[in-house]
């Protein structure tokens, strides 16, 4: 990547390795050149080689001579670098065909279940356009079929405008590195051709939908303790993919999500990371799982609200200006600059030191067994467990197999009362 660019408006060379960019008389220059592309003239910054000779290596790599400024972090050191913009600024014909096919599929799914669906729907003030607006009994969902590149700032701006008008955005991508992931409610699907999208074949959600899994960390738990491998006595909570649930759950189909999101059966959530309040994951989850999560967290134990990630301050190395076009070198060294975003690290694990009392469906009674040694021995024989595994039912206090493998915290009679 280049360490300098040509400013076509001021007709000056900008040195990105210098704190003043080589122009101490222009204090606002850094903010100007780092403005998002959609908010400035695309041809504001030019490759120095192209400016000097009229041609550069970028044109051989299907790139344009116009530049954007990025922050690059290597070994904990962040610097400013210039990168060539692609020639293409509009979706390809293939992307347009996929976009159209997915819009039609979403509309068909909604109408098949008796919901209203409008393609290319505009808000009453004309300022928000949804690819497909699906209206159900609980929500108005603005589906956005996004197969072409889009910036995070554009996703945030358009999503905020939709929410202000009572529309819940739902972005669809086929790319696990898409900038829209976790910037707004989203899902990821397979990279199908438009023929497959338009077919009746089941289209599955591959990312963006999770299910709540919570368990008391005891020796009898089906899952190992994520902290140390042995039971810690706490409560672990994960937002898991369907196949990782116990028992496994079926994948959500896009056609089903069209209905479920509009009817309120699936709802969007923003889950802050437990140990990093600056990170968060956006998920679509079953409404029952959302309610269970709120019961576990409790009004007095809310997790910190996620904050926008702060960009690292750049380091200026005071290097000499290099006018060489390094487009081909950039492609080889930085052939996949975007990190994978579909990972949902913030969705788990969340660990609580003990199981909150409020989530017990059978209220806890004083944990004291008043059975005689003979009664304990009889209970151990009846349940097929060692006598020291016998303890009081949390509901009625009767002796049951309370501890160890295969144990339960309440007897069958008390458990039936809450089902």
Instruction: Give the model confidence (pLDDT) of 142-191 as tens digits.
Output: 999 999 878 787 898 899 999 999 999 999 999 988 889 988 999 999 99
Q: Look up the CATH architecture of domain 90-204+253-259.
A: 3-Layer(aba) Sandwich (3.40)
Report the predicted TM-score, pTM, of the whole model to 2 decimal places: 0.64
pLDDT value of residue 411: 84
Examine the pLDDT at 306 and tell me if it is beyond 50: no
- Sequence-distant (6+) residues with CB within 8 A of 138 are 262, 263, 264
As annotated, the residues of the chain forming the CATH 3.40.1350 domain(s) are 90-204+253-259
Write down the pLDDT at residue 101.
96
pLDDT, position 184? 92
Contact 323, 48 (CB under 8 A): yes
pLDDT of residue 304: 43
Band the pLDDT of 29: cuts 50, 70, 90. Answer: very high
Q: What pLDDT sits at residue 229?
A: 73
Most confident of 37-41, 183-187, 232-236, 308-312: 183-187
User: Which range has the worst mean pLDDT, 221-230, 259-268, 271-280?
Assistant: 271-280
The per-residue pLDDT for 204 is 96
pLDDT in tens, 359-417: 555 555 566 777 888 999 999 999 999 998 888 887 788 899 988 777 877 888 887 76
Strands 186-189 and 205-207 turn out to be antiparallel
Q: Mean per-residue pLDDT for 274-297? A: 82
- Residue 220 pLDDT > 50: yes
For 53, the 3-state DSSP assignment is helix
Chain centroid, CA 257 distance in Å: 17
More confident position, 132 or 2: 132
| pLDDT value, residue 89 | 52
pLDDT for 350: 74
What pLDDT, on a 0 to 100 scale, did the predictor assign at position 364?
Answer: 56
pLDDT for residue 203: 97
Q: Any bridge partners for residue 145, and if so which? A: 172
- For residue range 116-146, what is the model confidence (pLDDT) as tens digits? 999 999 988 888 999 999 999 999 999 999 9
pLDDT at 301 over 60: no
Pair of tokens at residue 3: 């360490």
Higher-confidence residue: 170 or 356? 170
The reported pLDDT for the residue numbered 112 is 95
State the Cα–Cα distance between residues 219 and 386, nearest whole angstrom: 15
Query: Which own/partner pairs from 221-224 qualify as long-range (CB within 8 Å, at least 24 positions apart)?
Result: 222/246
231: burial class by Cβ within 10 Å (0-12, 13-18, 19+)? middle
Q: Which pLDDT value is given to residue 336? A: 40
> According to the model, what pLDDT value does residue 312 have?
61
From residue 217, alpha-carbon distances to 95, 362, 406 in Å are: 47, 18, 13
Q: Quote the mean pLDDT of the chain.
A: 83
Half-sphere exposure of residue 245: CA atoms within 13 angstroms, side-chain side: 16
| Phi, psi of 327, rounded to the nearest 5 degrees | -60, -45
Q: Please compute the mean of the pLDDT values over residues 236-251 and round it to a whole number.
A: 89
Partner residues linked to 134 by β-bridges? 117, 141
Dump pLDDT digits (tens) for 61-91. Answer: 667 888 888 887 776 788 888 888 876 556 6
CA 86 to chain centre: 26
Look at residue 380 in the predicted model and tell me its pLDDT.
92
CB-CB contact of 180 with 186 (8 Å): yes
What pLDDT does 290 receive?
A: 92
Q: State residue 330's pLDDT score.
A: 42
Tokens of 332: 């080889």
Q: What is the pLDDT of residue 39?
A: 79
Lowest mean pLDDT among 119-133, 226-240, 241-255, 272-286: 272-286
Nearest to 156 by CA among 123, 128, 135, 183: 183
Q: If we measure between CA atoms, which residue out of 84, 70, 103 comes closest to residue 312?
A: 70
Least-confidence region, from 37-46, 105-114, 238-247, 346-355: 346-355
Per-residue CA distances from 384 to 219, 372, 405, 408 (Å): 17, 18, 11, 13
Question: What is the model's pLDDT at position 145?
Answer: 95
């Amino acid at each position: 990547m280049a360490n300098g660019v040509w400013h076509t408006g001021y007709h000056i060379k900008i040195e990105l390795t210098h704190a003043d960019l080589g122009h101490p008389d222009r204090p606002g220059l850094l903010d100007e050149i780092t403005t998002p592309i959609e908010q400035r003239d695309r041809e504001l910054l030019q490759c120095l080689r192209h400016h000097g000779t009229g041609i550069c290596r970028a044109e051989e790599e299907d790139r344009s001579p116009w530049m954007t400024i990025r922050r690059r972090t290597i070994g904990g050191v962040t610097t400013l670098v210039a990168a060539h913009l692609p020639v293409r600024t509009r979706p390809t014909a293939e992307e347009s065909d996929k976009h159209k096919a997915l819009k039609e599929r979403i509309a068909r799914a909604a109408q098949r279940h008796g919901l209203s669906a409008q393609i290319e729907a505009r808000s009453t003030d004309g300022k928000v356009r949804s690819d497909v607006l699906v209206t159900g009994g609980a929500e108005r969902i603005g589906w956005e079929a996004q197969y072409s590149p889009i910036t995070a700032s554009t996703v945030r701006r358009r999503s905020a405008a939709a929410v202000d008008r009572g529309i819940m955005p739902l972005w669809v991508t086929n790319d696990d590195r898409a900038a829209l992931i976790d910037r707004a409610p989203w899902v990821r699907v397979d990279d199908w051709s438009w023929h497959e999208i338009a077919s009746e074949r089941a289209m599955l959600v591959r990312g963006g939908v999770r299910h709540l899994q919570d368990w008391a960390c005891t020796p009898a738990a089906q899952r190992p303790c994520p902290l140390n491998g042995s039971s810690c006595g706490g409560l672990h909570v994960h937002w898991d993919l369907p196949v990782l649930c116990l028992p496994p759950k079926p994948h959500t189909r896009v056609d089903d999500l069209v209905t479920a999101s509009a009817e309120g059966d699936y709802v969007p959530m923003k889950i802050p990371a437990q140990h990093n309040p600056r990170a968060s994951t956006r998920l679509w989850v079953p409404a029952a799982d959302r309610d269970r999560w709120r019961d576990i967290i409790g009004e007095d134990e809310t997790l910190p609200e996620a904050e926008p990630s702060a960009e690292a301050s750049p380091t200026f190395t005071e290097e000499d200006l290099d006018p060489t076009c390094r487009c081909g070198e950039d492609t080889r060294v930085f052939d996949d600059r975007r990190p994978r975003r579909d990972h949902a690290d913030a969705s788990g694990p969340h660990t609580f030191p003990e199981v909150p009392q409020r989530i017990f469906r059978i209220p806890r009674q004083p944990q004291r067994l008043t059975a005689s040694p003979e009664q304990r021995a009889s209970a151990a024989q009846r349940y097929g467990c060692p006598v020291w595994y016998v303890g009081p039912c949390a509901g009625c206090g009767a002796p049951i197999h309370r501890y160890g493998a295969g144990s339960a915290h309440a007897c069958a009679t008390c458990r039936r009362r809450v089902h």
